[in-house]
Amino acid sequence: MLLGIITLKSGCEKKIRHFYPWVQNGEIHSVEGNPAPGDLVKVVDSQGGFLGIGTYNPAPRFPVRILTLEQKPIDTAFFVRRLEQALQKRKHTVHDTNAFRVLFSESDGVPGLIADQFDQYLVVQVRTLGMERLKPLWLPALQEVLQPKGILERSEMESRKEEGLPPFIGLLAGEVPDLIPIQESGLEFLVPTRTGLKTGFYLDQRENRRQLARLVRPEERVLDLFCYTGAFALYSAKVGAHAHGVDILPEAIQLAQQHAERNHLRADWTTANAFEWLPQAHARGEQYDWILLDPPAIAKKRGQRESLRWALWKLVYHALPLLGEGGRLVVCSCAYQMDLGTMLDIVRLASTDRQRRLTVEDVSFQAPDHPFLLQFPESLYLKCLWLRVD
Ligand code: SAH
């Protein structure tokens, strides 16, 4: 089963022993056994001491992804155990919904594999060649433990290119409808499994949506920018606020409208580019009590950090004039490359440039079914700043 031995350079074993699951190119001393891309390998320290078992692919920047620090076979039983551990973790953190992330890659000890449960169906994403090659092992584990009616794969991430994998959408088991109705906090949403973004629904914002619903008061005006299928807007409409959702995707707005109808709620919806829409709304004199900014990661590549910062600055700079004194601004970033400190710097800069004083009332993160593994800082990707205009 293990088709090669990767020996790390002296000193590089520490990270792995401290639970960091990726090995970089420069940390490898030698590769024995001529493993093919995607093969399982044993990882050892410079003295030949066992460190862990991982998948190997020489092409990407991180050729080894550690699956386990134990000397045990990687088989279906291994994935069954991982799943059971993941479900155990979620028992106390996921409630009042039938949709949640069952497996979150490295955070659940399955680097490269994501599985979201939507009612009785699963939508999975495979990010690495290693995990793709292990499909015959983890697929039966998902079926055995969760017994879904169907499993759909939605693997279209840019990062697959680096792994030598083409984009892929396809049914792995059973049947999966194009739209799956799910329940979350008493609201019903339709998850567009084949045409939606990512796996179809942003489960990671669940607790932030709930926080918004706790804070918003009836009759307040809430602007949900980058609303996708309208989740934040509808949570606020449910507590009696006037919600307005804006997104660039017409299909997302159509579904948002459908969501409003299904839940007997009223909200306004606009299909527009947020960057253009904001200054126009300001020119029209529009005012809000709450503005949510939940842009996509925009620039995923390492060299594009500058544009990511610039985009966030622009959004905050153009959103602030739409808020009066006491207005609230919720700024989210789902790019793991942008840490909390950088986010605070950008927002500070944009608000100072606008001559507005802001108080940080809270900071929140991704929902706990997307666990943030302390030893793997990359697993913290979603940060939200809850700000108040003084
Ligand atoms: N808040 C949403 C998730 C947002 S994901 C939720 O909780 O469900 C980011 C969204 O930004 C996507 O729906 C995407 O279509 C939209 N988007 C991307 N670029 C945009 C732009 N320039 N203007 C408006 N929307 C944009």
| Residue 368, CA distances (Å) to 87, 100, 139 in order | 12, 10, 24
| Closest of 72, 20, 17 to residue 46, by C-alpha | 17
CA–CA dist 287, 5 (Å, integer): 62
Kindly report the protein residue whose alpha carbon is nearest to atom 9 of ligand 1: 296
Residue 227 bears catalytic tag = no
Structure tokens belonging to residue 182: 């799910």
pLDDT tens-place values along the chain, 390 residues long: 788 999 999 999 999 999 999 999 999 999 999 999 999 999 999 999 999 999 999 999 999 999 999 999 999 999 999 999 999 999 999 999 999 999 999 999 999 999 999 999 999 999 999 999 999 999 999 999 999 999 999 999 999 999 999 999 999 999 999 999 999 999 999 999 999 999 999 999 999 999 999 999 999 999 999 999 999 999 999 999 999 999 999 999 999 999 999 999 999 999 999 999 999 999 999 999 999 999 998 655 556 677 889 999 999 999 999 999 999 999 999 999 999 999 999 999 999 999 999 999 999 999 999 999 999 999 999 999 999 999
Predicted pLDDT of residue 3: 87
Rounded to the nearest whole angstrom, what is the distance from the C-alpha of residue 115 to the centroid of ligand 1? Answer: 22
CA–CA dist 9, 5 (Å, integer): 13
Residue 253 three-state SS: helix
| Residue 109, CA distances (Å) to 69, 94, 261 in order | 10, 19, 40
CA 208 to ligand 1: nearest atom? 7
The DSSP secondary-structure symbol of 245 reads: E
Residue 123: which H helix or E strand, with range? strand 121-126
Measured in whole angstroms, the distance separating CA 345 from the mean position of its chain's CA atoms is: 23
Identify whether the C-beta of residue 230 lies closer than 8 Å to the C-beta of residue 267. Answer: yes
Predicted pLDDT of residue 1: 79
CA–CA dist 340, 385 (Å, integer): 9
Choice from 247, 251, 307 to test ligand 1 binding pocket (greatest atom count within 8 A of CB): 247
pTM for the whole structure:
0.96
Structure tokens belonging to residue 120: 């009785």
- The binding-site residues of ligand 1, defined as CB within 6 angstroms of any ligand atom, are 197, 202, 205, 226-229, 231-232, 247-249, 252, 273-275, 294-296
Structure tokens belonging to residue 9: 């350079």
Choice from 207, 228, 270 to test ligand 1 binding pocket (greatest atom count within 8 A of CB): 228
Instruction: Provide the 10 A C-beta neighbour count for residue 379.
Output: 19
